[in-house]
Amino acid sequence: MDQEDHRMNDIFMIAAIIFVLLIFACGIRIWRGPTNADRMLALEVVNILVVTIMITLSLWFEQPVFIDVAIVYALLSFVGTLYVAKLIMGNLQ
Amino acid sequence: MIDILVTVCVVISLIFSILGVIGLFRFPDFYTRIHAAGMVGSLGFLFMGAAVLIYAGGLLLSGDEAWLNYGAHVVLALMVVVITGTTATHAIARSAYRSGNMPIAKIDALNADEIKMKHREERK
């Protein structure tokens, strides 16, 4: 039973590693985005991938605290995204 | 049974995420890249949450009561990310349009329709 659990958990670890590689790929788009809106869109994809990795790794490490960290990270990145959107539009005082 | 469901959900999530990031590179325009980014934010994330929920449910059914708390936290995280992700994408698209970021292919729908109607009349 215990060994079977670890064998199933391996899928989540492989998925987390692939998501980290996708974050690096999004970093390339952030580096050479033509406009600022492209950079912010790639950064939002990175935020969602980070939340996904946190949920996945909380199952790998069997710690529910990671999900609370993921919820707070999602809310704070949402506020940051709204501020950068106002900055792109040019309405930031 | 639970193993097969979890594996299928993880593979679907990985497929949607990889296709979304590839689309973030291959699409020529900002407004088409939003489409690729929305694939990562909606289906790639929701299927990963479904896989985690199914796996936690399997552990709950095997007799460990602590996984109910875990599942409630996962559902809360899914709701938060679905609400904030869509709103953030809408805010970015709105600010890009207001700041003068035009689509790369501007098609006037009325003109296209007029050309079609002209061809149709010539055939008659």
Residue A12 and residue B66: Cα distance in Å, rounded?
20
Dihedral of alpha carbons B87, A43, A86, A38, sign:
negative
**Residue B90 banded pLDDT, cuts 50, 70, 90:** very high
**Looking at residue B28, what is its pLDDT?**
86
pTM for the full predicted model? 0.85
- Between these two residues, A62 and A79, which has the higher pLDDT value? A79
Q: Are the C-beta atoms of A51 and B77 separated by less than 8 Å?
A: yes
Percentage of residues of chain B with pLDDT beyond 90: 44
Length of chain A: 93
Residues whose CB is less than 8 angstroms from the CB of residue B35 and which lie 6 or more positions away in sequence, other chains included: B23, B27
Lowest mean pLDDT among A13-17, B21-25, B28-32: B28-32
**Residue A1 banded pLDDT, cuts 50, 70, 90:** very low
Average pLDDT, chain A: 86
**Looking at residue A3, what is its pLDDT?**
47
Tokens matching residue B30: 């900002």
Q: Summarize pLDDT for B51-69 with one digit per residue, the tens.
A: 999 999 988 888 878 888 8
Q: How far from the centroid of its chain's Cα atoms is residue A22's Cα? A: 10
Tokens matching residue B9: 């959900």
Average pLDDT on B66-95 reads 91
Tokens matching residue B40: 């990562």
Lowest mean pLDDT among A26-40, A49-63, A78-92, B105-119: B105-119
**Closest A-chain CA to B74:** A67
Could you give the ipTM of this predicted complex?
0.84
**Closest A-chain CA to B26:** A29
**How many pairs of residues across A and B have Cβ atoms under 8 Å apart?**
140
Average pLDDT on A18-47 reads 91
Residue A33 and residue B30: Cα distance in Å, rounded?
10
DSSP-assigned letters across all residues of A35-54: SHHHHHHHHHHHHHHHHHHH
Question: Shortest CA distance to A57 belongs to which of A11, A2, A13, A7?
Answer: A13
Q: Summarize pLDDT for A78-90 with one digit per residue, the tens.
A: 999 999 999 888 8
Smallest CA–CA distance, residue B107 to chain A, in Å, is: 22
**Looking at residue A44, what is its pLDDT?**
93
Residues whose CB is less than 8 angstroms from the CB of residue B53 and which lie 6 or more positions away in sequence, other chains included: B71, B74, B75
- Please determine, for residue B1, whether its predicted confidence score (pLDDT) is greater than 90: no
CB atoms B80 and A68 under 8 Å: no
**Looking at residue A2, what is its pLDDT?**
47
State the best of A1, A51, A54, A75 to mutate against chain B, taking most chain B CBs within 10 Å.
Answer: A51
CB atoms B40 and A64 under 8 Å: no
Residue B4 and residue A54: Cα distance in Å, rounded?
23
Q: How far from the centroid of its chain's Cα atoms is residue B76's Cα? A: 19
Q: Are the C-beta atoms of A86 and A63 separated by less than 8 Å?
A: no
**Looking at residue A26, what is its pLDDT?**
92
**Looking at residue B105, what is its pLDDT?**
66
Tokens matching residue B57: 């449910």
How many CA atoms are closer than 13 Å to the CA of A44, on its beta-carbon side?
37
- Give me the residue spans of the domains in chain A: 2-89
- Please determine, for residue A5, whether its predicted confidence score (pLDDT) is greater than 60: no
Percentage of residues of chain A with pLDDT beyond 90: 61
Question: Shortest CA distance to A51 belongs to which of B66, B13, B59?
Answer: B13
